[in-house]
Structure 1
Amino acid sequence: MQRLQLYGRRITPKLTAHSAYHVHWHLDHKGFFNQKALFEFSELILCKSPVEALTWWCQGYTNVAAIMGFSGFSEEHLSILRSSLVRLIYFAFGTSRPELDEVYRIAHLLADSSIEVRLVLFPQGLDGNRFASTVSDPDKALSRVLKDALMLPERTGGNHDC
C-alpha cells in the first residue's frame, strides 16, 4: 500500500506554546480523502481533514470528502471538482477567520462552474468533530447545521479579498 498523505490530530492539550493540534504530511498527490464520493453524489460535504470527514461518515453521511488542511485546496482539487458529479458543496471547515477566508477563496474559484456553494456554520467556532462530540445526538445536530448552511453568492468577488 502506498501512502499519499497522512494526517494526525493531538488529543491532549498543547504541551508548548507552538505545538500544533493538526499535522499534515503531504506527498506528491493532493487529491481528496474519499475522492470516489465526488463521482457518486451531486451533493458533497467538504471537510478540512479526514478526521472531520469521518465524523460525518460515522453519522451516515457518505457523501463526504476532505482535503488535507483548510488551506490545502489546489488547482488539482479544482480540476477534479469540475470533472465530478458534484453540483452542491457544503463547506464544513469551521468558522475561524482563516477557514472562512479559504472558503470564500475556493467559492471564488468555483464561481464560473455550475457548482453551488454553502457554508456550514458550527456554533461557538467549533469544527465538525468537536461539535459532534459536544452534543447528545450528533446525527440530529449535524443534520441541523447542514440544513441551516449559509448559501454563498454565486459571485463571491466584490469587496472580499480572495
Structure 2
Amino acid sequence: MWLGRAFLVLMLAFGLAACGDKFRTYNGPEVTSVQVHKSARKMYLLHDTTILEEFNVSLGKQPVGPKQFEGDFKTPEGAYYISHKNPKSQYHLSLGVSYPNPRQVEFARSQGKSPGGDIFIHGGPPRPVDRWDWTAGCIAVTDKEMELVYSMVNSGTVIHILP
C-alpha cells in the first residue's frame, strides 16, 4: 500500500516538474542587440559582437521585402528597439518591436494606407501550421526558445531586422 502511494507521489512530482514555469532567470552577459536575418531565417542575440544565442525563425507569410502596410503579411526591415514585454501573449510570451517609425507612418499615409503595427518576437502558433513562414509579420520561435529569449532580452534593446 505504501509503495503505491510513494509511486503516486513520485509521478505527481515528475508531472508538476514537467509543467515548469515559463519565466526563466538569466544571469549571463547583457544582450546589447538582436539581429534578425530574414533571408537566412535566423535570429541572433548579441553582447556587443559576440553571439550569445542563435535561433531559427518563422516570419510573415510574405517574407520578401520590408513591411509597408497593414495586412501585407511582411516582416519589417530596419533598426528598431524592443518596446515592451508581454507575459500574457496569445503566443506564449512576446517582445514588442517598435515598428512603425515616423518615416514609415508618413509613407503609408501618403499612400492612403495604414502602416500596421503590433509586430512582436513571439512563441510558436497555438495550433500546427502547414508552412514555415506563418505569421502576419512577426518573428516567431518555439515556445521553449521564447522563454529563453524573453529572459535574456530587455525592453529598450536594439533590434536590427535585415533582408
TM-score with structure 2 setting the length: 0.29
| Higher relative contact order (Cα pairs below 8 Å, separated by 6+ residues) | 2
TM-score with structure 1 setting the length: 0.29
Structure number with greater Rg is 2
